[in-house]
Chain A
Amino acid sequence: MAAIPALAHHSFAAEFDEKKPVVLKGTVTKYDWSNPHVFVYVDVTESGKISNWATEWESRIELKRTGWKPDSLKAGDAVTIDASASRDGSKRASGKSVMLAGGKKLLAPTEAQMLMPSPAGSAKPAPRWPDGHVRLGIGPGELGYWANASAPGLTDNMKVKLNRDGLLANLADAGKAAPFQPWAQALYEYRQRSLLKDDPMASCLPPGGPRQFQVPYGLQILEDPDRKRMFIMSGGANRNWRLVYLDGRPLPAQDSVSPTYFGYSVGKWEGDTLVLNTSDFNERFWFTNGGLPHTEKLSLVERISRPDFNTLKYEVTVDDPGAYTKAWSGGWNLQWIPDQEMEEYFCDDNNQDLEAK
Chain B
Amino acid sequence: MKHSMVGLVAALGGLLAVTPAKAHHSFAAEYDTTKAVTLKGIVTKVDWMNPHVYFYIDVEADGKITNWGLEMGPPNMLERSGWSRNTMHIGDEVVVEGTLAKDGSKQANARSVTMADSGKKLGAASSESSGK
Chain A contacts to B: CB under 8 angstroms: 255-256, 258, 282, 284
Contact = CB atoms under 8 A, between A and B. Distances in A.
Interface of B: 48-49, 75-76, 79, 84-86
B84 to A, nearest CB: 8
Contacts of A284: 49
A258 B79 contact: yes
B86 A255 contact: yes
A194 to B, nearest CB: 24
Contact of B76 (A255, A256, A258, A282): A258
A258 B86 contact: no
B71 to A, nearest CB: 14
10 contacts: A255-B84, A255-B86, A256-B84, A258-B48, A258-B75, A258-B76, A258-B79, A258-B85, A282-B49, A284-B49
Given A256-B84, A284-B49, 6 more contacts: A255-B86, A258-B75, A258-B76, A258-B79, A258-B85, A282-B49
A256 B86 CA distance: 10
Contacts of A256: 84
Contacts of B86: 255
A320 B18 CA distance: 48
Contacts of A258: 48, 75-76, 79, 85
Contacts of A255: 84, 86
Contacts of B76: 258
Nearest to B83: A258
B14 to A, nearest CB: 33
Contacts of B79: 258
Nearest to A261: B50
A83 to B, nearest CB: 37
Nearest to B86: A255
A284 B79 CA distance: 20
A258 to B, nearest CB: 4
A33 to B, nearest CB: 28
A282 B48 CA distance: 10
A259 to B, nearest CB: 8
Contacts of B75: 258
Nearest to B75: A258
Contacts of B48: 258
A253 to B, nearest CB: 12
A255 B76 CA distance: 14
A283 B48 CA distance: 12
A159 to B, nearest CB: 35
A54 B76 CA distance: 41
B64 to A, nearest CB: 28
Closest 7 CB pairs of A and B: A258-B75, A258-B85, A258-B48, A258-B79, A258-B76, A255-B86, A284-B49
Of A255, A256, A258, A282, chain B has the most CB atoms within 10 Å of the CB of A258
